[in-house]
Amino acid sequence: MLTTEEKEIFNAIARYIVLSELDDKWQSASLKLMVIGNTVEFNLTFLYENGATKNTKLENAFKCSFEVLKLYKLTNEHPNYKKWNRSEFILFSDSKCKIEYVWEEDLQNKVDE
């Protein structure tokens, strides 16, 4: 079950995604995240009703990175979550979302070097 803080963070991330594409004909948006220290990298792709996809810049990425770092800290410090350094946040046009957390040891090893 999501905490109130997680819900607030997810809603904030979803707002940044929606601001990035004002065309209302998209089915879903995939925001891939990579967290390295205090840095967040984003890759945003929209899937449209006609099957086309479009990579686009995340609006307000700097502000969104603060939300992602809050989520990162919250989940990595909680015993019920596995550690992660990559994630995929999927937002559907009906406002539902899902998130997958991934731990990449190779990425962490490069950071630690």
State pLDDT tens for residues 56-84: 999 999 999 999 999 999 998 888 888 89
Report domain extents, the chain. 4-112
Collapsing DSSP states into helix, strand and coil, what is residue 86?
strand
pLDDT of residue 70: 96
pLDDT of residue 37: 86
What phi and psi values does residue 103 have, to the nearest 5 degrees? Answer: -105, 125
pLDDT of residue 81: 84
pLDDT of residue 82: 84
Written out in words, the top-level CATH class of the domain with range 4-112 is alpha beta
Please list the ranges in the chain whose pLDDT falls under 70: 1
Judged on CB neighbours under 10 Å (0-12, 13-18, 19+), 95 is: exposed
pLDDT of residue 23: 76
The one-letter amino acid at 7? K
pLDDT of residue 80: 84
